[in-house]
Structure 1
Amino acid sequence: MNSTLSSKQVAVIGGGPAGLIAAETMARAGLRVHVFERMPSVARKLLMAGRGGLNITHSEPPGTFCARYGDAADWLAPHLKAFPPSALVDWCAALGQETFVGSSGRVFPKAMKASPLLRAWLNRLDGLGVRVSLRSDWHGWDADGALTFANGNTFRADATVLALGGASWPRLGADGGWTALLPGIDIVPLRPANCGFRVGWSEIFRKQHAGAPLKRIALKFNGEVLRGEAVITSEGIEGGAIYALSAKLREAIARAGEAKVFIDLRPDMTLDELSEKVDGPRRGATLSNFLRKSANLPPVSIGLMQEALHSGADSVKLSALVKAIPLRLTAPFGLARAISTAGGIALTELDDGLMLHKRPGIFVAGEMLDWEAPTGGYLLQACFATGLAAGHGAIHWLNSN
C-alpha cells in the first residue's frame, strides 16, 4: 500500500457502475474512499437492466466494438483497450458470476440478473474499506472547496470522481441536475438515446394496436437496413430495431423536423415472391382477411397497412407496401422514457486521466460524458472503462501532487 495515498481521502459522487468501479480502483490503491449516492440504495439502474438479463458487454471483435460509439469511438478507444470486454468478463468471474455469450454475441451473467453480481461487488467494496452514504444528494462545493449535500453535510476530499449518470430513467437516480453545478464547463445538451419516437397514429389504430409487438421486421432509413423487433405504443413506436437507429433518427428530426423510416413486414420474402401472393385479385375477401391469408400478416401489421393506405398510399401495390410501409417520426420520446442519454460534458474538457482541465482534482466518468452507444452491452462496458480510467486518473494525480 502506498503510504502517501493511504493518508488521502477521495469522494465518488454516484453509486452506479462507473462510480463503484472507480471506488474499487482507488480503494485497491490504498485510498480512503467514500461513495455518496442520492437514492436509498446504489446501482438501481443496473438492477433494472438486470430484469432483461443484464447484457453486460458484447463479444464482437475490438474494432467493430469500438466503432459502435460513433463520434466518440476514437476518444474511448484507449479506455476500452485498457479495460476491454474480456477484462469485464474476468472481473465478473472473480465475483463468482460466470458469463455466457448469447446467439447475438451479447454477453450475460449465467444468473441472468444483476442482484447476485451487485451483492458480491458490494461485499468486495466493503472488504476494501469503501464507505457508502445513501440519501446524499450532492449540491456542489462550498467556498472552501468542500463537497456539500442537501442534508447539510459536507465532505472535504483530496480528489473527487463525479459519476452521476445522464438523465434517463430519473426515478432511478440520474436526472441530469448536475449540469447546473458545473459552471464554466462546456456541456453538450442532454438528449434521449436508445429511445422511441412519436408517430401520429389514427385513433382507431391506437386503440386497437397500442402495445402490440412487431416481430421479425426490418427497418429502412437512409439506405441502412436493420432487422429486429419493435413495439407499437399509444404515442408512437419503440423497441430494439428503433433503438439501434435512434441516434440517426434523432439527428434527422433535429435537422428537418421529422424522419421517415420504412418498415419491411416480411424481410424474409422478396418483392417478387410477395407480389405473387398479394397483388392478385381478392375475390371478395376483405383487405384484412386477404392479407392475413395471403401474406400471413398479424393484425398489427395489417393495421399498419391500413394506416398507410388511408394516408395516401393507395396507389402503391400491396407487395411494395408490405416491403416498405412509410412511418413519419416527429420527435423522440422524452428523457424519462429513454434507455440512455446522449450529450454531457464535452470530451475536450478532460485530460487523458478524465480530470476536468478547469477543476484540478475533479474527475468524471460514465454517462455524464458526451458519448452514446446502442444497446447490446456497449453502455455498461463504457461506463466500467471510464470509471476505471477516472479512478486511475485520480490515483496518478494524487501521487503527482
Structure 2
Amino acid sequence: MEEVQALVVGAGPAGLMAAEAIADSGVPVIVTEAKPSIGRKFLMAGKSGLNLTKDEDPETFLDAYGPAAPRLAPMLAEFGPRAVCEWAEALGQPVFTGTSGRVFPVAMKASPLLRAWAARLAGKGVTLRTRWRWRGWEGGVAVFDTPDGVRQVKAARTVLALGGASWARLGSDGAWAPWLEAAGVGLAPFAPANAGLVVEWSAPMARHFGAPVKGIALSAGDVRSRGECVVSARGLEGSGVYAICRPVREGAALTLDLLPDWTLEKVAERLARPRGRQSMGNHLRKALRLDPVSQALLMEFARPLPEAPEALARVVKALPVRHAGLRPLDEAISTAGGVLWSSVDAGLALTALPGVHVAGEMLDWEAPTGGYLLTACLATGRWAGRAAAGR
C-alpha cells in the first residue's frame, strides 16, 4: 500500500485545478485518471470553440446557476469570469469576447491550453497517473485498477473530481455514486441537463431538419431564453433549448415566442390586415415576416390555426411545444444531481468522509452552456483544493 499526502481522483478541469491549488500550498499531490489521457471532455468541448466563461455582471452571471447560486457564490467570487480569463492568459492563451459576451481563447481550441496547463502542473511537482480507475475504498484506502494490477493508496487528503454521468465514453460515467452512497453521502438522482428535446415530428417537418430557428424566445416555468435552436431529426437542440432544461425536466410546459420583439397587439394588428385570396402561409410570411422554419413549427404544433387574428396572435407569441422530454442522460452535455450540498461542509469536504472533498459536476448544480459550466468546475476545483490543503 502506498501512502501519499494528497490524492486527486479525476483529471478534468475541476481535478486539475484542485491539484494545482494543493501543489501551490507546497503539498505533493498525485492525480489519477481512468482514461489514457487527461481532460477528454474539456477537449471535446473545445472542438467547436472553447467557451471559457461569460463576460457579464456578477449578479447576472450568478443567476445562471439557479437554486445552487447561493452555495456557489463564494467560490465564483474568488474565481469568476475575470479570474478565468487571467488564468488562460497566464498559460499563454489570450482570450477575446464575442458579441454575445462569451469568452474564447484566440486559438479557439482547448488543446494548446491543456498542454500548457499540464506542463505547468508537472513543473509544480504534480504527478499524473493515467489508466488508473478508482474502485472506491477498502478500509479507508483508495483502490484502483491499473495497468499493473490492483493498487491501493492511502491519502492524508483526497479530492474527488469524477464528473457527472453524461458522455461516459469521455470518462463521466457516474460509477462513483454507489460507493459514496454506501458511505453515507446524500445524493440527488442524476438527470440530463443541457440536453436536446425529443420531438416526434410529422412527415412534412423532414425538409427542415438541420435548419436553425433564429429570433425566437423559449419559455418554461420561470426561465425565458433568447438563444437559438436547431430542428433535428430527433427534435430540437441548441443553446436556447439547453437554457430551459431544468424547468422542462421538472414538468413545466414549454412555449415558443416566434416574434419576441413584437408585442401581442402588434402581431394581432398585422394578422388583421386583409388576407384576400392568399394562403395562410403567404399571409403569415407577408404580415409577420415569419421564415419557413418558424411557419413550419407553427403549423406543426398549432394546426388547425385559429382564424381570429387575436387568437392566432396568442399562438404566435406562446406556441405550445409537444415533446417527449429530454434526450437520454448519456447524450446530455452535462448532468443535474449528484452530491447534495447538505452532504458537504463549507470547504466541500464530505461530512460522512472526513478528509475527502468533492468538486465539479459531482456536486448537485447545473447551468446552461455559455461558459458557466467550465467556470464553476474550475472555481469548485480550486476551492476544494485550497480547503484540502488547509488554506
Q: What TM-score, normalized to structure 2?
A: 0.90
CA contact (8 A) 1:308 1:325 kept: yes
- Contact 2:198–2:236 (8 Å) recurs in 1: yes
Distance 1:369 1:350 in 2: 9
Is 2:88 aligned against 1:92? yes
Distance 1:321 1:362, change over 3 A: same
1:138-164: CA deviation from partner (whole Å, max 9, x where unpaired): 111223624332642332322211000
2:284 corresponds to 1:263: no
Q: 1:294, CA displacement in angstroms?
A: 4.0
CA offsets per residue over residues 296-349 of structure 1, 9 Å max, x none?
333222211221343x54455444433332213332211122121111101111
- Letter of the 1:218 partner, please give it: A
Q: Counterpart of 1:4? A: none
Q: Which residue of 1 aligns with 2:101?
A: 105
Q: Which residue of 2 aligns with 1:164?
A: 162
After TM superposition, list the pairs within 5 Å mapping 1:66-77 onto structure 2.
66-77=62-73
Deviation, structure 1 residue 124: 0.5
Structure 1 match to 2:35:
39
Change (3 A) 1:389 1:308: closer
Separation of aligned partners in 1, 2:281 and 2:259: 16
SS across alignment from 1:158: strand
- Mapped to 1, the partners of 2:170 and 2:379 lie a distance apart of 22
> Cα distance, 1:8 vs. partner?
4.8
Structure 1 residues 313 and 286: CA distance shift in structure 2, 3 A: closer
Q: Any conservation in 2 of the 1:142–1:148 contact (CA below 8 Å)?
A: no
SS at match of 1:147: strand
Aligned partner of 2:326: which letter?
Answer: P
Q: Which moved more, 1:193-202 or 1:365-374?
A: 193-202
Deviation string 1:88-121 (CA, Å, 9 cap, x unpaired) is 2211111111222222222222222211111110
Q: What are structure 2's unaligned runs of at least 5 residues?
A: none
Task: Name the CA distance, whole Å, in 1 between partners of 2:348 and 2:314.
Answer: 51
Aligned residue for 1:47, secondary structure, equals helix
Q: Give the match for residue 375 of structure 2.
A: 381
Query: Is the 2:167–2:330 Cα contact (8 Å) retained in structure 1?
Result: yes
Q: Deviations over 1:250-280 (max 9, x none)?
A: 11x2xxxxx4222122223344444454444
CA contact (8 A) 2:53 2:102 kept: yes
> Which segment is superposed worse, 144-153 or 342-351?
144-153
Counterpart of 1:56 in structure 2 is: 52
In the TM superposition, residue 214 of structure 1 has moved relative to its aligned partner by 0.4
**AA aligned opposite 2:192:** P
Distance 2:249 2:42 in 1: 25
Letter in 2 for 1:104: S
Structure 1 runs (4+) greater than 6 angstroms displaced: none
Q: CA offsets, 1:348-373, max 9 Å, x none?
A: 11122211111122111100011112
Contact 1:147-1:157 within 8 A present in 2 as well: no
Contact preservation (8 Å) 2:20, 2:121: yes
Q: Pick which of 365-374 and 24-33 moved more.
A: 24-33
Instruction: Provide the residue aligned with 2:352 in structure 1.
Output: 358
Distance verdict in 2 for CA 1:359–1:175, change over 3 Å: same
Amino acid corresponding to residue 164 of structure 1 in structure 2: L
Task: Name the residue aligned to 1:306.
Answer: 299
Partner residue, 1:195: 195
Q: Helix, strand or coil for the counterpart of 1:31?
A: coil
Match of 2:152 in 1: 154
Q: 1:201 to 1:159 in 2, by over 3 A?
A: same
Task: Measure, in 2, the Cα distance between the counterparts of 1:375 and 1:55.
Answer: 9
* Structure-2 change in CA distance of 1:331 and 1:129 (3 Å): same
Stretches of structure 1 lacking an aligned partner (at least 5 in a row):
1-6, 254-258
Question: What RMSD over aligned residues (CA atoms) do the two structures have, in Å?
Answer: 2.3
Equivalent runs, 1:1-400 vs 2, <5 Å = 8-143=4-139, 145-149=141-145, 151-182=149-180, 183=182, 184-205=184-205, 207-222=206-221, 225-251=224-250, 253=251, 259-310=252-303, 312-315=304-307, 317=309, 318-396=312-390
| % identity of equivalent residues | 49
SS at match of 1:352: coil
CA contact (8 A) 1:213 1:230 kept: yes
Q: Which stretch of structure 1 is more off in the superposition, 152-161 or 365-374? A: 152-161
Shift, 1:185, TM fit:
1.0
Deviation at 1:233, TM superposition (A): 2.4
Q: Deviations over 1:123-182 (max 9, x none)?
A: 101111212122221111223624332642332322211000011222211011110121
Distance 1:357 1:144, change over 3 A: closer
CA distance in 1 between counterparts of 2:197 and 2:308 reads: 25
CA distance in 2, matches of 1:334, 1:86: 34
Per-residue CA deviations over 1:14-58 (Å, capped at 9, x if unaligned) read 110000011111122222221111112111111122123222122
CA distance in 2, matches of 1:144, 1:390: 20
